[in-house]
Amino acid sequence: MARYGMALDYKNCINCKACETACKEENGILMGADKHRIWVGTGEIEGQYPLLDLTSNVFHPSQCQHCDNAPCEEVCPTQATYTDENGVVRVNIDQCILCSYCMNACPYDARYVDDRTMTVDKCNFCAETRLARGETTTACQNTCPTKVRIFGDLDDPNSEISEVLRTREHYSLKAHLGTKPKLFYLT
């Protein structure tokens, strides 16, 4: 029993997209631009040389926020979307009726349709692959060359993530919506 979360030292991201590839490989995600559990947001560099705005060129890796108060779960008519015993928001594909309500309700565009099962899929912190095998890292975290991601148990005060969140400033995305994300961006 854990309460998994992830901290992202996002300023270290170099946009190599290794995490996107690793996620597809580990979790057998289909090819195609729409079919992704994880992404890296990039900004075009703004301004005219030599007055370039370097801060505009930052990379923002992201994925499902595993909201503690998840809108996707709240709107699901069949409880196909649920929070498992480790605080991971997951989809039970046998129960999903593809009403797409969760895709519309998720404020983070974290969900898409898996064309094989025609049900909704999203990041599940590798719950069916790595966590199921007893590992305690995710594929995206493991592969990252600059170690952007720190994954671990938020309830364990001695975990690396708890330590980092105690000692470094961080923020969550769209926190004003009350979704209580478990993804934290380290500043």
Residues that bind other proteins (CB under 8 A): 33-34, 39, 41-44, 60-62, 71, 74-80, 94-101, 103-109, 111-113, 115, 118-119, 173-174, 177-178
Between 123 and 131, whose beta carbon lies closer to other proteins? 123
Q: Which does 142 bind (CB under 5 to 8 A by kind): ligand SF4, other proteins, none?
A: none
Backbone angles phi, psi at 76, to 5 degrees: -70, 120
What lies within 8 Å, CB to CB, of 38 at 6+ separation is 19, 20, 23, 61, 62, 63, 123, 140
Q: How many helices (H) and strands (E) does the chain have?
A: 5, 10
Site string for ligand SF4, 141-170 (x = CB under 6 A): ------------------------------
Maximum pairwise Cα distance, the chain: 56
Q: Which does 7 bind (CB under 5 to 8 A by kind): other proteins, ligand SF4, none?
A: none
Q: Which does 37 bind (CB under 5 to 8 A by kind): other proteins, ligand SF4, none?
A: ligand SF4
Structure-block tokens of residue 84? 């498992």
Q: Are 83 and 73 in contact (CB under 8 A)?
A: yes
CB atoms < 10 A from the CB of 15, how many? 13
Site string for ligand SF4, 1-20 (x = CB under 6 A): --------------------
Q: Which of 108, 107, 99 lies closest to 79 in space, CA to CA?
A: 99
CA distance 65 to 33: 20
Q: Which does 177 bind (CB under 5 to 8 A by kind): ligand SF4, other proteins, none?
A: other proteins
Task: Give the number of residues in contact with ligand SF4, rule: CB under 6 A.
Answer: 43
Q: Which does 23 bind (CB under 5 to 8 A by kind): other proteins, ligand SF4, none?
A: ligand SF4
CB atoms < 10 A from the CB of 71, how many? 19
Q: Are 2 and 84 in contact (CB under 8 A)?
A: no
Question: Footprint of ligand SF4 on residues 35-74 (CB under 6 A)?
Answer: 37-38, 63-67, 70-72
Could you list the residues that contact ligand SF4 (CB under 6 A)?
22-23, 26-27, 37-38, 63-67, 70-72, 75-78, 80-81, 89, 91, 96-102, 106, 108, 110-111, 120, 122-126, 138-140, 179
